[in-house]
């Protein structure tokens, strides 16, 4: 069993925390420590569900890059924003939401996502080899899967 297979996600106790993460991402008001794997997924789901004015596939790259820079991060060939992982998880969140009731509670949805296959840290590796997923090309632009179709 790998480390990611052993990993238990940190679930949210309050929907207000999910809203804080989504709004904080947009306003660049989060700390670097706030921006966990769970926060990425919670903010993505919140954006899809609550912000129809934002198209995540189009807008999230610039939003994440801006946030990274706001906390002193660098977006380059080796760190910061990763286009293929972002687009893969957006597709995963959308796929997950298609299986759920449209009127489901935000907290239930986000915690369910974190426990679903699409919420796993290693979920993109179902579609991509490590070599392809962690390549400079995949960080800089969306590359197609080399194992199977994503989302």
Per-residue pLDDT of the chain (151 residues; tens, 9 = 90+): 444 556 789 999 999 999 999 999 999 999 999 999 999 999 999 999 999 999 999 999 999 999 999 999 999 999 999 999 999 999 999 999 999 988 899 999 999 999 999 999 999 999 999 999 999 999 999 999 999 875 4
Separation of alpha carbons 56 and 33, rounded Å: 22
Say what the pTM is.
Answer: 0.92
pLDDT at 68: 96
- Measure CA 150 to chain center: 14
| Dist CA 104 CA 102 (whole Å) | 6
Tokens of 109: 């949805």
Distance CA(21)–CA(29), nearest Å, equals 9
């Amino acid at each position: 069993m790998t480390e990611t297979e052993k990993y238990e996600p940190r679930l949210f106790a309050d929907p207000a925390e999910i809203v804080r993460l989504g709004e904080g991402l947009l306003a660049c008001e989060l700390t670097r420590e706030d921006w966990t794997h769970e926060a990425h997924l919670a903010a993505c789901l919140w954006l899809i569900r609550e912000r129809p004015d934002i198209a995540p596939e189009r807008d999230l790259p610039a939003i994440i890059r801006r946030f990274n820079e706001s906390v002193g991060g660098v977006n380059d060939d080796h760190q910061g924003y990763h286009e293929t992982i972002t687009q893969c998880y957006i597709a995963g969140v959308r796929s997950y939401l298609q299986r759920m009731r449209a009127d489901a509670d935000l907290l239930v949805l986000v915690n369910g996502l974190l426990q679903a296959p699409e919420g796993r840290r290693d979920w993109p590796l179902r579609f991509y080899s490590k070599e392809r997923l962690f390549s400079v090309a995949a960080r800089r632009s969306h590359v197609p899967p080399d194992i199977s179709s994503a989302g």
